[in-house]
Amino acid sequence: MVQLSSNFLLVSFFMFLAATIFFTVSITGKKFENRQGQLKNKAGLLGYISSVVAVVAAITYFILRWIAAGHAPVSNMFEYTTFLGIAMALAFVIIYPIYKNNYIGLITMPIVMLIIVYASMFPTEVQPLIPALQSIWLEIHVITVALGQGILAIGFVGGLLYLLRVIDFKKVTKKVIGVEFILFTIFCVVGYILFSISFGAMNYEATFDYINERGNEANMVYNKPPLVGPNEGVLTSDTGFNPLVSTPAIIVSNDLNTVIWSILGGLLLYGLLLLLFRKPIGGAIQPLLKNVNPRSVDELSYRAIAIGFPVFTLGGLIFAMIWAQIAWTRFWGWDPKEVWALITFLFYAAYLHLRLSKGWHGERSAWLCVIGFALIMFNLIFVNLVIAGLHSYAL
């Protein structure tokens, strides 16, 4: 059953790839207007159909893995991150018929694929739930959070598309640097994937004995060369080397090491593309977006956030506090994950206030859409992996 579910996830990935190709064809311009004009006209529809098929296959994966595991497959980084990508694709499939914007599909589909590939870098085995997670609130809380974040991600896509369309990349400004930084973070994810595949192919592994955040002796395995090491860590394997820096116990050092390698990979990829295009990456992308209607994508991103915000609030705060009371006998405990969920809630609440009461439309609204999703990803990746807390075991 698990293998069958994995096969459906693989099918969905290739259907997302097909959707990306079709959406690309739909906007590539005059080169497809002659003999292939009919294909160009229908490419957007084919891209949407491929997206729908991909989502159906992905949901089938989710259901089959749920049956095989006996619980909702959202209990570790692989499962949750994969479901986040599925939720983003589902939100796109629902929103696309309203706007029929192929540019949104062109950006959304590669991001969904990137999220799924990123998820596959974590252990994919079905794992039994620890006692704290054996509750119906696992399904209620975590699935609702992921659905809300998936919808909010469409707001990010709209905001990024708006910025790429309207910003002047011919001279270096704060706005250009901001957009380039967003693109750089995407390259960091690609760099993480490439390094993980490369070191995995070499079967690289370095093991350390160390003192964890509870003051107990433990061991930690590195799958990439240790640039930073665990607290009071001692190398015990034949491979590897002593790290440059040791981290305090509160920092999960092998995950911090992965983040550093990801940044190095992002710098390498971004630098190569700068040499290739000899201009900001956003400036190289902008000519493809000349037919984007800024007002349309601005409205799309706002509506996505207006829908996603209450869903995220319900799952990330209300349901989370109910479960915290049941599991830990308190509604709130200032755990790092809880704090960043609150920060995310307050940020999107401020976005809606500024949009509705202060008239923040267009570029200012787009920046907020992008920053909001950056908070979500920071919470998912950095807070989840690097900072030790009550939620570290879960997602």
pLDDT score of 81? 92
The mean pLDDT value of the chain amounts to 86
Taking the C-alpha atoms of residue 342 and residue 228, their distance in angstroms, rounded to an integer, is 30
147 and 232 assigned to the same domain: no
pLDDT score of 393? 45
314 or 391, greater pLDDT: 314
Domain boundary residue, one of 250, 278, 306:
278
pLDDT score of 40? 56
Q: Summarize the confidence of residues 330-342 as an average pLDDT.
A: 79
209 and 357 assigned to the same domain: no
Into how many domains does the chain fold?
Answer: 2
Domain boundary residue, one of 278, 312, 330:
278
- Give residue 203's domain range: 170-278
Neighbours of 6 (CB within 10 A): 15
Q: Summarize the confidence of residues 167-171 as an average pLDDT.
A: 90
Question: 9 with 116: CB under 8 angstroms?
Answer: yes
Transcribe 53-83 into DSSP letters: HHHHHHHHHHHHHHHHHTS-S-SSHHHHHHH
Query: Please, what's the b/e burial string for 19-57 (b: 16 or more CB within 10 A of its CB; e: otherwise)?
Result: bbebbbbbbeeeebeeeeeeebeebbebbbebbbbbbbb
Q: Is the pLDDT of residue 34 over 60?
A: no
Q: Which of 244, 226, 227 is nearest to 236 (CA)?
A: 226
Q: Is the pLDDT of residue 62 over 90?
A: yes
240 and 255 assigned to the same domain: yes
123 or 82, greater pLDDT: 82
Model confidence at 26, in pLDDT bands (50, 70, 90)? confident
**pLDDT tens digit string along 248-294?**
767 767 778 888 899 999 999 999 999 999 899 999 999 988 888 99
Per the domain annotation, does 326 fall within a domain? yes
Could you tell me how many residues make up the chain? 395
Judging by DSSP bridges, how do beta strands 217-222 and 245-246 pair with one another?
unpaired
Strand-pair partners of 235: 208
* Angle, CA 243 vertex, CA 237 and CA 253 arms, to 5°: 90
135 and 234 assigned to the same domain: no
* % residues pLDDT > 70 (the chain): 92
23 and 164 assigned to the same domain: yes
**pLDDT tens digit string along 194-226?**
998 998 888 888 888 887 767 778 888 888 888
Q: Is the pLDDT of residue 172 over 80?
A: yes
188 and 113 assigned to the same domain: no
pLDDT score of 29? 59
pLDDT score of 133? 67
Model confidence at 132, in pLDDT bands (50, 70, 90)? low
Model confidence at 246, in pLDDT bands (50, 70, 90)? confident
Q: Summarize the confidence of residues 82-100 as an average pLDDT.
A: 93
370 or 137, greater pLDDT: 370
